[in-house]
Homo-oligomer: A and B are copies of this chain.
Amino acid sequence: MRKDAQQNRDKILTTAAKLFQARTVAEVSMKDIATAAEIGPGTLYRHYSNKNELCSALSLKYIDQFLSSCQDYLRQTTATPVAQFNHVLTQYILFRERRLQLLAFVETGPTVMDTYYRSELYHQLVQLFKRVLKPVNQSLNEVELTFQVDMLIAMLKSDSYAFQRHQRDLSQAQLGQLISHLMVPKD
């Protein structure tokens, strides 16, 4: 890749992140991003073939940070398996709350399947949860373990999460407890 192209690629992401702080993702147009990054719309679209892919790339950066912080935690903790699971779950909920807008936009895009769920980092997120869930419920086989993790993640996707928070009137903590309660076998 040419040097100028790489610079533009980076600049687009940082510019978008900046704009998303001031206005909602939906409010910021691709033209706004192009203008702020001092490039033409064509250039923007060559790097990220649509708004979703751009947001997806940004999300993956944040997920990367989240994964790192969890891995640091797991490296140094001496807590019980259940406590470890609950910690990661709680942190994940907090992380999602922080990036609510962006994640919601990404998850409701038509190309999510390609740019997001197939990504290496998403796979690592699944691995992280499998790693902390496995010691908590050792009776699960591989397929069941994966399935429960997928279900946990599905339940915390923007729509479902919003539904629980605002229609079911659950707090972040209550939601975490219900998930934990379902997945941690009662001896």
Produce 1/0 per residue, A143-183, CB < 8 A to B: 11011101100110101101110111000000000100110
Contact B162 A150 (CB under 8 A): no
- A97 interfacial by beta-carbon distance below 8 Å: no
User: Chain A contact residues: over half helix, strand or loop, or mixed?
Assistant: helix
Report the contact-size class of chain A (Cβ under 8 Å from the partner): 20 to 34
- A125 interfacial by beta-carbon distance below 8 Å: no
Find the residue from A144, A147, A150 having the highest chain B CB count within 10 A.
A147
Contact B143 A178 (CB under 8 A): yes
- A113 interfacial by beta-carbon distance below 8 Å: yes
Contact B168 A146 (CB under 8 A): yes
CB neighbours (8 Å) of A178 from chain B are 143-144, 147
Contact B150 A154 (CB under 8 A): no
Question: Closest residue of chain B to A175, judged by CB?
Answer: B147
Complex interface: stretch among A6-14, A84-92, A104-112: A104-112
**A→B interface (CB under 8 Å):** 26, 107-110, 112-113, 117-118, 143-144, 146-148, 150-151, 154-155, 157, 159-160, 162-164, 166-168, 178, 181-182
Given contacts A117-B159, A151-B151, 9 further A-B contacts (CB under 8 A): A107-B159, A117-B163, A143-B178, A144-B182, A147-B178, A150-B160, A151-B155, A154-B157, A157-B159
Q: Jot down 18 A-B pairs with beta carbons below 8 A, ordered by A.
A: A26-B110, A113-B159, A113-B166, A117-B159, A117-B163, A117-B167, A118-B167, A144-B178, A144-B181, A144-B182, A147-B168, A150-B164, A151-B155, A151-B182, A154-B154, A154-B157, A155-B155, A157-B160
